[in-house]
Chain A
Amino acid sequence: MATPAVADTTVIGRRTTQTGDIVARLITFAFAASIILITFLLVWQLWSQSAPTRHKFGFAFLFTSTWNPVTEEFGALPFVYGTVVTSILALLISVPLGLGSAIFLSELAPAGISNALTFLIELLAAIPSVIYGLLALFTLVPLMRDYGEPFLKSTLGFLPWFKGPVYGLSLLTAGMVLSIMTIPFIISVSREALLAVPREQREAALALGATRWESTWQIVVPYAKLGILGSIFLGLARALGETMAVTMVIGNDPKIKASLFAPGYSIAAVIANEFSEATGKVYQSALIELGIVLFLLTIIINGVARLMIIATTKKGSKR
């Protein structure tokens, strides 16, 4: 009879394969734990290698704007400035464009077209940074230098941001490249957040006589606002860490100037440019300390983003 036989082998089988289970669990556990190990190593490396500058400058490092390898005076401010300004510029362009597109894709476009277009937009996120840099250097920079920036100068030249000589290689150009790189993140995540808004919300608004746009803008978008904010933070985190595209068009000048036409520098760009030639322990550790600053910035912003996105999906699934 089948059952007792099965029961017998099951008993024996379970004993021998219990070791199998334990081994499997141990092996996979080891690999999972190693992820924590790798990250710990990273943080430890950054911390220990930046010791010379941390001891020499302390917190003042974050607020000093000199970057002088000859006299070994280092300060993070010009790079933080450049990183933050280019990222904000990027968001100023990509958020309206991205949110608008997300609204179109979630509310207006039929499902088939929406999926197809979203797929294409997500391909933008797969393009390597160095290729964005290549394109920007040969197409966007001449365009900005010969047409874009002079135009802004002639129309908005009374504002401090649009004064000064026009080089093409500038904070503004870097901001524009970053905006194209952040758009796919904003569109992708915002669209998901908008799609998650329950249908009843839209229908209720329309039933009360709202136009399509009013229903979308005044009801649906606010409902999804956490997810949308999350997408913005995600895009911001990406923009802060971008290296190659930025270093090819930002002009590489560690100065803080009001004008957006001026060349600037970002944290990632200076590490990429100067690390292999940093003579002396202090110079090297200054660059590594900059790495820590960037690391912390991206952790905080990523963390906030994920919290917001989680909160949205939880809210959306509540009916």
Chain B
Amino acid sequence: MKLTKMSLALAGLMAVAIPLATAQQINAAGASFPAVIYQKWFEEYRKMHTDVQINYQSIGSGGGIAQLTAGTVDFGASDMPMTDEQISKVTVKPLHFPSVLGGVVPTYNIAGVMQDLKFTPETLSGIFLGAITKWNDPRLAKDNPGVKFPNADIQVVHRSDGSGTTFVWTDYLSKVSPDWKSKVGVGASVNWPVGLGGKGNEGVAGTVKQTPNSIGYVELIYVVQNKMAYGSVKNASGSFVKADFNTVTDAAAAAAKNMPDDFRVSITNAAGKNAYPISSFTWLLIPSHIPDAAKAKTIKAFLQWMLADGQKYAAGLSYASLPKEVIAKEVKQIAKIQ
């Protein structure tokens, strides 16, 4: 009796498992910065090609690079270009494919403050260094006349995991603040002087949303989707710019013309009157040699789609699409995948 019941159950499980096993499974992991548009892309792609499931897990750029190096995923994703040292550790050389542009914004949750705040390199680095500790500090008031700041401690929120978003943020701060550069520096995971750690862009946004008088840094889509307040930042030309499709695209303009062959650039603190200073490309890290021919074919097809139709989703999700010159160059790189 028991035996027949068990075998029936097993048969049931098989029945569910086998048809699904014929769908092509591709595993990827990495940055949370572009995770929102990636999930959208992979979902849309699956609707068009029902036998392809690209499973993307948002574990941070550090995770994307680590898992790509360990070989546990078919491709990775990162907002931080891999260093030469990191590339040398991967058995199959990875190719960088910029997928989309985005901006990292300072988001805050301050009691009684509904307006958009203006931040300068001095105030941002001061806050994250722990030099500016209260919201009603005169340095903040100077840039934001008319705003009623509470007399409250600033709760800083940063990333607890290895993050490309952190890389972009600290890259910007290192360029504009010599103090920051010497005390903390650039990296995916730095020794933060102050603050709470949240996991992923999702975790930082979640923590800022729930913690009064807090400030954090996240990719634009996370504040838009969660209706959170975010400020403008003073760029290299002196104007206070808020991140959006146009200002982020402007930041990439110079790089678009002079894109290196391996696509590894930083566009923080870009020149340009309307450029958003904390913008970045984000990359898919695709191995140059994929042994499974079927997977290689699917990945190449997906990349083609991403560079054409996929870009149309960027604006609606608060990212910016890639410049034409970059797209043209990338299409040529697809051929390099064996």
Task: Report A-B touching, CB under 8 Å.
Answer: yes
Chain A residues in contact with chain B, CB under 8 A? Answer: 66-70, 141-142, 145, 165, 167-169, 251-253, 263, 265, 273-274, 276-280, 284
Chain B residues with CB under 8 A of A276: 29, 59, 63, 66-67
Q: Nearest residue in B to A281 (C-beta to C-beta)? A: B89
Bound CA–CA A167/B189 (angstroms):
22
| Contact with A279, one of B160, B162, B199 (Cβ below 8 angstroms) | B162
Contact between chains at A277 and B66 (CB < 8 Å): yes
Known: A69-B189, A168-B211. A273 touches B66 (CB 8 A): no
**B311 at the A interface (CB under 8 A):** no
| Contact with B197, one of A68, A69, A251 (Cβ below 8 angstroms) | A251
Chain A residues with CB under 8 A of B212: 145
| Contact with B63, one of A67, A69, A165, A277 (Cβ below 8 angstroms) | A277
Contact between chains at A277 and B191 (CB < 8 Å): no
Contact between chains at B62 and A279 (CB < 8 Å): yes
Chain B residues with CB under 8 A of A278: 62, 66, 162
Bound CA–CA A69/B29 (angstroms):
20
**B277 at the A interface (CB under 8 A):** no
Contact between chains at B69 and A279 (CB < 8 Å): yes
Bound CA–CA A70/B184 (angstroms):
10
Contact between chains at B189 and A70 (CB < 8 Å): yes
Bound CA–CA A280/B87 (angstroms):
11
**B102 at the A interface (CB under 8 A):** no
* Other A-B pairs beyond A70-B188, A167-B155, A273-B199, 12, CB < 8 Å: A69-B187, A70-B187, A70-B191, A167-B211, A169-B196, A251-B197, A274-B162, A276-B66, A277-B66, A278-B66, A279-B62, A284-B66
Chain A residues with CB under 8 A of B198: 252
Q: Nearest residue in A to B199 (C-beta to C-beta)? A: A273
Label chain A's interface by main secondary structure.
loop
**B318 at the A interface (CB under 8 A):** no
Contact between chains at A279 and B207 (CB < 8 Å): no
State how many angstroms separate the Cβ of A207 from the closest Cβ of chain B: 58
14 A–B contacts from the bound complex (CB under 8 Å):
A68-B190, A68-B191, A69-B187, A70-B187, A70-B188, A145-B212, A165-B155, A252-B198, A273-B161, A276-B63, A276-B67, A277-B63, A277-B67, A279-B86
Chain B residues with CB under 8 A of A253: 160, 192, 195-197
Chain A residues with CB under 8 A of B62: 69, 277-279
| Contact with A142, one of B59, B195, B210 (Cβ below 8 angstroms) | B210
- CB contact list, B171-191 vs A, under 8 A: 185, 187-191
Q: Nearest residue in A to B160 (C-beta to C-beta)? A: A252
A-B interface, 5 closest residue pairs, ranked by CB to CB distance from nearest: A277-B63, A252-B197, A277-B62, A252-B160, A70-B187
**B287 at the A interface (CB under 8 A):** no
The tally of residues in B whose CB lies under 8 Å from a CB in A reads 33
Bound CA–CA A142/B210 (angstroms):
8
| Contact with B211, one of A67, A145, A273 (Cβ below 8 angstroms) | A145
| Contact with A274, one of B67, B161, B210 (Cβ below 8 angstroms) | B161
Contact between chains at B210 and A141 (CB < 8 Å): yes
Bound CA–CA A196/B195 (angstroms):
50
Q: Nearest residue in B to A73 (C-beta to C-beta)? A: B191
Chain A residues with CB under 8 A of B187: 69-70
Bound CA–CA A114/B133 (angstroms):
53
Chain B residues with CB under 8 A of A168: 210-211
Contact between chains at B196 and A252 (CB < 8 Å): yes
Bound CA–CA A277/B29 (angstroms):
10
Bound CA–CA A168/B210 (angstroms):
10
Bound CA–CA A87/B211 (angstroms):
25
**B60 at the A interface (CB under 8 A):** yes
Chain A residues with CB under 8 A of B160: 252-253, 273-274
Known: A252-B197, A277-B59. A70 touches B155 (CB 8 A): no
**B306 at the A interface (CB under 8 A):** no
Chain B residues with CB under 8 A of A273: 160-161, 197, 199
Contact between chains at A66 and B196 (CB < 8 Å): no
- CB contact list, B202-223 vs A, under 8 A: 207, 210-212
**B153 at the A interface (CB under 8 A):** yes
- CB contact list, B76-113 vs A, under 8 A: 86, 89
Bound CA–CA A68/B183 (angstroms):
13
Chain B residues with CB under 8 A of A280: 66, 89
State how many angstroms separate the Cβ of A289 from the closest Cβ of chain B: 17
Bound CA–CA A277/B199 (angstroms):
11
Chain A residues with CB under 8 A of B189: 69-70
Bound CA–CA A107/B67 (angstroms):
57
Contact between chains at A251 and B196 (CB < 8 Å): yes
Bound CA–CA A147/B128 (angstroms):
27
Chain B residues with CB under 8 A of A169: 196, 207, 211
**B65 at the A interface (CB under 8 A):** yes
The proximity string for B residues 99-131 relative to A, scoring 1 for CB distances below 8 Å and 0 otherwise, is 000000000000000000000000000000000
Contact between chains at B162 and A263 (CB < 8 Å): no
Bound CA–CA A227/B190 (angstroms):
46
